[in-house]
A and B are shown apart, each in its own frame.
Chain A
Amino acid sequence: MGQAIHIFKKDVRHLRFEIAIAITVAALFAFIETKHALWPVDAVYSDTPASYLALLLLPVVWWMLIGRAIHDEALPGDRQFWITRPYSWRSLLSAKLLFILAFVNLPMLIAQMVVLHAYGFSIGAELPGLLWSQVLLTIVFVLPVLAISAVTTGFAQLIAGIVTPCVIALALASLKFKYQLFLFGITSVFVSGPGWVWSYLIFLIIAVATPAILLWQYRWRGTTVARCFAGTAWILVAMVFYLISWNTAFKISSVLSRQQVDLSATRLISDSSIRRPYMSFRQGGADVRVQVPFQLTGLPSGATARIEYLSASFQAPDGTTWNADEFSWENPDGPGQQLALMPSFHGGIYLTRNDVPVKVHGTLYLAVFGNPRTTQLPMGDHFVPVAQVGLCSARENYIGSSIRRNYLLICNSAFRSPTGLVSYLFGWSDQDISHQEIPGNFRPFIEEGQLSFSPFPADVRISPVSQEYTAFSDSMTRAFGDIQTFEPLGHIRLDFDVDLGKATMYGSNNNEKIRPWN
């Protein structure tokens, strides 16, 4: 241990400027986040570039620090002075890990505790999330850079080692999930719904590969073999979507999220009596978009469902099959639990030329929510604990000389997205005037995408607190805000099989149903 401390002290002395930068950025991050916590309304109305800058800078300074520390005793090569000195590989590795713990993990832990405290969260109550967050941050931001640093000799090599596999992984992910990535962004794919299964598979690969690479390199300095380990790990990470299908991820997530209700009676019924299916064409008639209405039956009383994913394929009588390449949907709504699926496929020319009927087969993945709970928030500045969400506050916000009153509902969640559906209302006496789900008007697309079914107490995020808010404007005075949460009760997979008939049928029966895409 003495030698490890000796090497550690040397690294501290050598990298004191880098350490100062890293600690300064961590302090800046804590300061900005704390400022948000103390003046949440300002934060809502002005997302400061400084906060984004701090979030961007933190990983960069961590990578710089880790790379510089490891490269101080670079492992590849045969000219380094230290390899012919009485270094113990255990001491060297311990010194480097101690350095990272001291100047990456510890400042981040302290910064997160400060931010949590500023937002009013109890450190004790959030301890599991706090510790798990450190584990995830280490896996995502520290271990890969540590592993790459151990098989490279300079910063240019390190950057190439980080960027190249990330670009490849992103390209592969976008091939697999181009529609989701386009609509929701990469984080949604990895966090929302069962997306955490892929995330944790990646974490597992990193958590296994990095110690193997480090042990191999520090023990044997076998750079070629270690680089092969790293390359294999990167390939596995890049291929993670292909290793585990959506269906498998859904099954794993469903098993681990504890089914609370019996959903065996739930059925998906073709609902053409109320709304008829229709087809529309685009791309000069090459692509077909289909809308198929359904009704969801057999849900437990008071429960509601949200579509997590949809897969569909289309088949002509001669066996020609097309897989849907884009999806959209309308979630079950209203007392009839009606929903609509809108997959698209590339078979328009075939259908119009051959005038054949087409069938659609598919699978719908649903999350079912229920057990609504309502928490009333008095108008004011203080935050109230809300189960499955975090701390929420309803307040009136004066902007300029507007005669309309502006109301703001802010919810802060620690370490992870809400685990259930959340909706809000601003109460006026005992009457409900407005009701809509949050996150509200500003980001409608992620409204349900941000739900995570991960059984772990934290998601990967640098900032420990995520803030969702919604604004409401009215000329009348509102007395309170209500937060209603619906907890996830279970997940269900439903297959469907619908005969759509001939494409021309839609055109001959109803000209409105067959039209160019616009």
Chain B
Amino acid sequence: MTDILRTIDLSKRFRNTMALDHLNMTVPEHSVYGLVGPNGAGKTTTIKILMNILQASDGTAEIFGRDSRKLSPHDFTQIGYVSENQEMPEWMTVEYFMNYLKPFYPNWDSARAAELLHQFDLPLDRKIRNLSHGMRMKAALASSLAYRPPLIILDEPFTGLDALVRDEFIAGVLECAEDATILISSHDLAEIETFASHIGYLDNGRLQFSEEMTSLTERFREIEITLANPVETSAAWPAAWLNREQSTTVVRFVDSHFDQTRTMAEVQGVFGAVQQINVSAMPLRAIFVTLAKAGRKAA
């Protein structure tokens, strides 16, 4: 699997704020890469540098193996980009907008465009300024999928969308998932979890981890231990145990490197004999909250 997107020691400073700090990230071909992280983590900055909208302070970003600062118009014919806060040509009708963009893309598929417009139920004769936020996002997505780009970049696409529009939007994106590489930044972890194949967690401009979704969900487990007797533990707790809580006989934590055998051995090493251990799989949202809390404590 080759990497479609890559950042190498990418840094971006806005005056005194380090938005990105030596970010090294790769997005494999044909993956659906979810870039997640709390507000201000640097997700949008990363995407804007990748799209050559912003200039990096240091390091490089590459798309299709090309330095993003040297992206040519031809490269942009291979990229579908939709952003939540993109300014659209308000005066255009949906139909004119699509027709206007058509000559820019040699691969524009008029049948596909018509299909998308129908699928998204977009009113062709309505001006973009008169569309709701959800409609605008769908119009932007339709205009970015109609040329079947091999790379789709979506920056916070779900913000402000109601559940129905969100479903339509995701359905539209997923139809392209087989042929394309998708980078999607979002707060909506429940949605990301349903279709992301890879996940990258960005916090304070640093990539905390980047791995396949299956590996991630297998790695994180919520563990609840009921002790036989109140125990004063003297042994150090493993660093992989996050958000530790302890009452007299109950201990809860999240193991961020769960492995059945190793975790059990570590529990025994710390607490000795235990009465009961409950191990629960975690949804992405719970993993994200755990990491965010752990990050704040560490800070």
A interface with B by C-beta (< 8 Å)? 2-3, 6, 10, 14, 72, 77-81, 83-88
Contact = CB atoms under 8 A, between A and B. Distances in A.
Contacts of A14: 91
A81 B103 contact: no
Contact of A86 (B77, B86, B140): B77
B94 to A, nearest CB: 13
Contacts of B140: 81
A78 B103 contact: no
Given A3-B104, A80-B87, A86-B104, 20 more contacts: A3-B103, A6-B104, A78-B53, A79-B83, A79-B85, A79-B86, A81-B86, A81-B88, A81-B89, A83-B51, A83-B53, A84-B51, A84-B76, A84-B86, A85-B76, A85-B101, A85-B104, A86-B105, A87-B104, A88-B73
22 contacts: A2-B103, A3-B103, A3-B104, A6-B103, A10-B100, A14-B91, A77-B87, A78-B48, A78-B53, A79-B86, A79-B87, A81-B86, A81-B89, A83-B51, A84-B51, A84-B81, A85-B76, A85-B101, A86-B73, A86-B76, A87-B73, A87-B76
Interface string B95-106: 000001101110
B79 interface: yes
B276 to A, nearest CB: 54
A75 to B, nearest CB: 12
Contacts, number: 46
A78 B54 contact: yes
Of A77, A83, A84, A88, the most chain B CB neighbours within 10 A belong to: A84
Interface in B50-106: 51, 53-54, 73-77, 79, 81, 83, 85-89, 91, 100-101, 103-105
Interface of B: 48, 51, 53-54, 73-77, 79, 81, 83, 85-89, 91, 100-101, 103-105, 140
Contacts of B77: 86
A2 B76 CA distance: 17
A86 B100 CA distance: 12
Nearest to B87: A79
A86 B75 CA distance: 7
B275 to A, nearest CB: 57
Nearest to A89: B73
Contacts of A87: 73, 76, 104
A19 to B, nearest CB: 14
A3 B75 CA distance: 16
A86 B74 contact: yes
B99 to A, nearest CB: 10
Nearest to B80: A84
A80 B83 CA distance: 10
B123 to A, nearest CB: 19
Contacts of A88: 73
Contacts of B85: 79
Contacts of B103: 2-3, 6
B104 A84 contact: no
Contacts of A77: 87
Contacts of B51: 83-84
Contacts of B101: 85
7 tightest A-B CB contacts, nearest first: A86-B73, A86-B76, A84-B81, A79-B87, A78-B53, A86-B77, A86-B104
A80 B48 CA distance: 12
A72 B51 CA distance: 21
B202 to A, nearest CB: 19
Contacts of A84: 51, 53, 76, 79, 81, 86
Contacts of B73: 86-88
Contacts of A85: 76, 101, 104
A119 to B, nearest CB: 42
A81 B100 contact: no
A341 B54 CA distance: 63
Nearest to B78: A86
A232 to B, nearest CB: 22
A72 B54 CA distance: 20
B116 to A, nearest CB: 17
Contacts of B87: 77, 79-81
Nearest to B89: A81
A88 B48 CA distance: 19
A135 B298 CA distance: 66
A78 B50 CA distance: 13
Nearest to B76: A86
Nearest to A2: B103
A6 B100 CA distance: 8
A449 B73 CA distance: 55
A84 B81 CA distance: 7
Nearest to A82: B89
Nearest to A153: B87
A3 B104 CA distance: 7
A77 B53 CA distance: 9
A377 to B, nearest CB: 57
A370 B38 CA distance: 84
Nearest to A72: B89
Of A6, A14, A77, A86, the most chain B CB neighbours within 10 A belong to: A86
Contacts of A10: 100
Contacts of B81: 84
Nearest to B54: A78
A81 B85 CA distance: 10
Nearest to B69: A220
A80 B79 CA distance: 16
B226 to A, nearest CB: 53
Nearest to B96: A13
Contacts of B74: 86
Nearest to B153: A84
Contacts of B89: 72, 81
Nearest to B82: A84
A85 B88 CA distance: 12
B245 to A, nearest CB: 43
A80 B140 CA distance: 12
A94 to B, nearest CB: 14
Nearest to B140: A81
A3 B77 CA distance: 14
A84 B47 CA distance: 11
Contacts of A80: 86-87
Contacts of B91: 14
Nearest to B102: A6
A81 B137 CA distance: 12
Nearest to A13: B96
Nearest to B106: A86
A88 B91 CA distance: 22
Nearest to B83: A79
Contacts of A83: 51, 53
Nearest to B100: A10
